[in-house]
Structure 1
Amino acid sequence: MSKFTLAVVAGASAAVGAATTAAIYGLGGSRRQTPETQSVTTTTTATRTGSPLPAPQRDGPHTPGPIVPPVDPSGVFQYGFPGPVNDLHSAVSLTSAFDRAKRNPHWVAEHITPASLLLRNGDRRHSYFAEDQAIPEKFRAKLTDYARSGYDRGHQVPAADAKWSQEAMDSTFWLSNMCPQVGEGFNRDYWAHFEDFCRRLTSFYPSVRIVTGPLYLPKREADGKWRVSYEVIGHPPNVAVPTHFYKIIFAEDGKTGGNVSLGAFVLPNAVIHNDKPLKDFEVPVEAVERASGLEFAGLLPPARRRRLCDEINCSVIVKEYAERQRTMMTPPPAKSGQAGTGLAQR
């Protein structure tokens, strides 16, 4: 697919029932970024009585020298920095940035390897959904927001990707790693199959990095105009319901300065039939960047980029929800040429 616009991305999703990493590098352990504020100067305020302020003088042939501004807009910083503030979170199993306005993450990044998926030290039966106490109370998503909403608390980084320790698994259950997702037909079905596809990539790549997050894409209304419309859940309404979700996949060959196979996918937050080809949701990375306002691969030189679906058969394996709940995840499949992988190198 070439040269996507937001309208094209949204329109492509309509066919399945919905109207439709550079930022990762260099993140420290700090919980938040606090923008530096410049020094504040005090300005003189005119009173209602007294002489009026003189009109500002413009530069011209008879007014040499730079103009001295009669105002100081940055003086508002003395009362606090308005934002936006991205709540950066670095945990053992994920790194994320939180959107305070929509009470959803901007993005959540994870890293999986064959070794990390083989470990079984975490058990989701010991994990509990929890509000993220590090986010200010007035901005965080709450457990009550999801109660009787009709939506699942949809993991952005799956718990099944963090079985290597109980602490790692527990951190995937914070609501800052959640978005409202359609349950049956999406979160419990096609989206879960997609997550399984990502895990199976470790059969061919020694290192797989994934960035996942929500999108709010426009829909064409009856009057022919495009508008962004999404539901908000909670009492009072707090948490935005995304119209779509994206995954950016960086499949690394494991060599220093080696090649990276890139894959970008946008799925509607709606029921998707299991026979829908995954490649129907493949889009250019640039399309997700334009839609989200984020950048994912600005530091990856074109010479090192490969297209994931040119190297791997991008398709999902359908596993019924009840069976998946019993097994949680099959062991990573063997490499190409052995049965049962569901993936094949081209």
Structure 2
Amino acid sequence: MGTWVTTNTGFRSFLSDRIGYKSGLALNNTEMIELLDSNDPLIGIFKSQNEELVRIRTNYIEDTFQIMLYRLGVTTKEFVGHAPTLLDLEFMHSPSKRLLFRKVLKLLGETHFGQGKKSIFDEFDEDSYYKSIRVDLGVEALAIARRLVSLTKESEEASPWDWLSARVTEWHSPIELKQLFESESLDAMYGTFLDQRYINYLASNSDKLSTMHWRKFEALTAEYFERKGYKVQIGEGRNDGGIDVRVWSKDLEFYQPPVQLIQCKRTKSKIDKVLVKSLWADVVNENAKGGLIVTTSSFSPGAIEVCKVRNYPIREANRKTVIEWLNELRKIGKGVFMGE
């Protein structure tokens, strides 16, 4: 178990840089502290006001880094682990599978890492590797090989060390996390209306939905429908007449009546019947098929009742639904931006 001797400011700079490289998000010291538990062994280094020499255990660095990546939505679990070790333990009581695993691992070492490659992401010919496994070792070994590669990618993605530059997505130009809460901008390098990096973060931090910027909340709604294959038009944000997003099916033109008129309400208050009636009037005026109110809260009993009694085609997408959207967008984004 190694140690690293550096200054606290030097370490914070190092970790901020590595977080930015792996997640695409630029974090300040306060934001890094917010990602950690109060009993994290390294939290004192982040909170220290004076520059001082520190001796840090490397396993603490790895653990803290993995927790940060998990809470930023980069990885799906706090502890990733070392791929060969995990599989060796998994097959401990299955001699035949363990033997296959070791053959699979040996071939990976010979065909890739034996060529001087440091990372599984470094010009790895995945298809050729799988073909060799299938021909030489069979279908059962192929399944093990796929798991080995997948776990290796996860473990390399979660490594803080700069000699291992592996990352699933080659993020360009890190964006500031604080802009999710402060900016009205709809600029998105990875997405149309809301950047995938913010989506990943929100999927792992749904408690932040109520504090994200209201314009970004509208962008999240527009991004969801756009990625589901609809034509989407987002409002001006201010003085947009109360309609935040208009949605058309892909076979319709923008000059035709929308399929849905959407209002977005990032609020803790229940949606009342007045808002429902107002949206219904807009639906009638634009000859739309229906309306949707997307909220971080939910409909009040009065709003539910007026929709039921008057048969208004107004639906609710409440907090639970929005969280489901985030998880779906995260998966879609993984396929689109991470090359799966």
TM-score, normalised by the number of residues in structure 1? 0.25
Give the structure with the larger helix fraction. 2
Q: Which has the higher strand share?
A: 1
The TM-score with structure 2 as length reference comes to 0.25
